[in-house]
Amino acid sequence: MTPPTEEATDSGLSVVATTSMIADLAHRVGGEHVTVTGLMGPGVDPHDYQPSTSDVIKMGEADVVIYNGLSLEERFVEVFDSLSERGVLSIVVAEGISERDYRNPEEDDDLEYDPHIWFSVPHWQEGTQHVADQLSEKDPENASAYQQNAKEYIEDLEELDAYIRERIEEVPEQSRYLVTAHDAFQYFGAEYGFEVVGLQGLNTQTEAGTGDISRLADFLVEKEIRAVFVESSVSPRNIEALIEAAGSRGHEVTNAGELYSDALGSAEENAETYIKMYTSNIDTIVDALKD
């Protein structure tokens, strides 16, 4: 006689996710077998986000905490360290990606690796599979559902990847420069053939100085770059200063709109999922830079 199986409760595993991109991924992979709590809402900067007392309690009581890693969530270090003692499984999305595929930061940055892995769709597919594998191990009874959900999501991401590549063809090769507020798009650049320049480093806490603004203004003139972008989770003031500096050199540059960098947008903005967020970004970029 088979012993009664331990029934998972209706709500399934309780999962806490740090960024909104990861909460979306967890929803897609976990489906009906998980309850996902996301800690950071639209427009929240994860480099700078300080977990509240209630966040810490939520993480401590969860079955699983999913986070990006590579020091994106800089202020969570102590909480993350305490999770295993409490029997909480940590799933680190970056660990689904081979270390040799991590991008190295600029030499003047204090981060070891560039944490913005989600801007390579192939990397995000690997991260998705990693989350599915870890959830399957934690909750073997629902493993086939996690694997099936991941398969479907990875297929949707395949379509997104194809859309990005197709739209980029509209931008002349000599115009493939992406100038933004902070250096979140290096994985995008490497994957899709753009040169990417961020006014601030990988970490939004390092301030851009007037020297940086002046150097980048010269670069805009030299490369005839006419459009730059602000980011939803970073103050636009540096980009505005850059536009002004280029203007004083007689080079007109437009603010070509807002990109989502380190957080998803809202439902009103039609950017509340990773796929919608990326679609919005690529449309903003291509519409500004195409001939």
Q: Which residues here bind Zn ion, judged by CB under 5 A?
A: 184, 262
Smallest separation (angstroms) from Zn ion to the CB of 116 = 6
Angle at 266 between CA 265 and CA 268, to 5 degrees: 130
Decide: residue 84, CB within 10 A, 0-12 exposed, 13-18 middle, 19+ buried: exposed
Q: What are the structure tokens assigned to 95, written together?
A: 């660990």
Smallest separation (angstroms) from Zn ion to the CB of 219 = 21
Cβ proximity of 16 and 64 under 8 Å:
yes
Cβ proximity of 253 and 242 under 8 Å:
yes
* Closer residue to Zn ion (CB): 12 or 43: 43
* Closer residue to Zn ion (CB): 33 or 47: 47
Smallest separation (angstroms) from Zn ion to the CB of 251 = 27
Q: What are the structure tokens assigned to 70, written together?
A: 């590579």
Q: Of how many residues is the chain composed?
A: 291
Using CA atoms, how far apart are residues 186 and 224, in angstroms rounded to an integer?
21
* Closer residue to Zn ion (CB): 62 or 285: 285
Smallest separation (angstroms) from Zn ion to the CB of 124 = 15
Smallest separation (angstroms) from Zn ion to the CB of 48 = 9
CB neighbours of 6 closer than 8 A, spacing ≥ 6?
none
* Closer residue to Zn ion (CB): 119 or 146: 119
* Closer residue to Zn ion (CB): 55 or 262: 262
Smallest separation (angstroms) from Zn ion to the CB of 241 = 19
Using CA atoms, how far apart are residues 170 and 96, in angstroms rounded to an integer?
32
* Closer residue to Zn ion (CB): 212 or 262: 262
* Closer residue to Zn ion (CB): 184 or 228: 184
Cβ proximity of 115 and 202 under 8 Å:
yes
128: closest CA among 152, 163, 154?
154
| Burial 43-59, CB ≥16 within 10 A → b, else e | bbbbbebebeeebeebb
Smallest separation (angstroms) from Zn ion to the CB of 47 = 5
* Closer residue to Zn ion (CB): 72 or 145: 72
Residue 134's Cβ-side half-sphere holds a number of Cα atoms within 13 Å equal to 23
Our measurement of the distance from residue 291's CA atom to the centroid of its chain's CA atoms, rounded to an integer in Å, reads: 28
Smallest separation (angstroms) from Zn ion to the CB of 108 = 16
